[in-house]
Amino acid sequence: MSLDIPDVVIQRLPQYLRSLRAFKNKDIALVSSTNLGAESGVTPAQIRKDLSYFGKFGKQGQGYNVEALTNDLTRILGLDQSWPVILLGVGRLGKAILTYPDFTPEGFYIVSAFDSDPVIVGTKVASITIKPVEQIKTYIRDNNIKIAILAVPGDSAVNLIDEIVQAGVKGILNYAPITPKVPENVQIQNIDPVHSLQTMTFHLSEINSNPNN
């Protein structure tokens, strides 16, 4: 498979997958790129272009087979396996993440959680006993962990990222309000509500400065 697939394309695939499942739930077996586009909020042309990176899907004039495309996208996205995940930082946000109901149905299992606060270490959240952060590297190596969720303050995040990457983590879901640099073979996705709000206020300010809008 080509490694030259643009990131924006890959980022749209989970949305297509979700839309396909919505069709499946409605017992719809075939969809056109127009149907899929209406459900995903992406133009039909873009969908056809995105999918063309991965081979030939759908038949001219017949549309896509919902089940087949669901299976293909599941496999392409690596979701035909389950992924053990560790959580670093069990403050308020970490606790919310530990009890988030939508990871497990998608194959992401939080198998262990770590904190530096001795008051938190040893307590139990959602049936997981919080371990001391000092054990993190050993745990990653012993359990071949590839994905970590980071819910620590910005100032502790940078060092922690170095440590877990050294120990073998290849994918980081980062909630710390920083944009860390990671080696090229490590994936990082930053979840940053302030960035998201700032992107919106750009547009809201335009509305404000144009009362006709």
Residues that bind its own copies (CB under 8 A): 1, 3, 7-8, 10-11, 13-15, 17-18, 40-41, 76-79, 81, 83, 85, 91-93, 95-97, 99-100, 102-103, 106, 108, 146-147, 149, 170-171, 173, 177, 179, 181, 185, 187, 189, 191, 193-208, 213
Cβ proximity to its own copies, 30 vs 178, nearer residue: 178
Cβ proximity to its own copies, 8 vs 56, nearer residue: 8
CB of 163 to its own copies, least distance (A): 19
Cβ proximity to its own copies, 60 vs 196, nearer residue: 196
CA dist list (Å): 196 to 2, 27, 127, 174, 191: 31, 35, 32, 14, 9
What count of Cα atoms within 13 Å lies in the side-chain half-sphere of residue 53? 19
Cβ proximity to its own copies, 62 vs 105, nearer residue: 105
3-state secondary structure 119-146: CCCCCEECCEECEEHHHHHHHHHHHCCC
CB of 59 to its own copies, least distance (A): 25
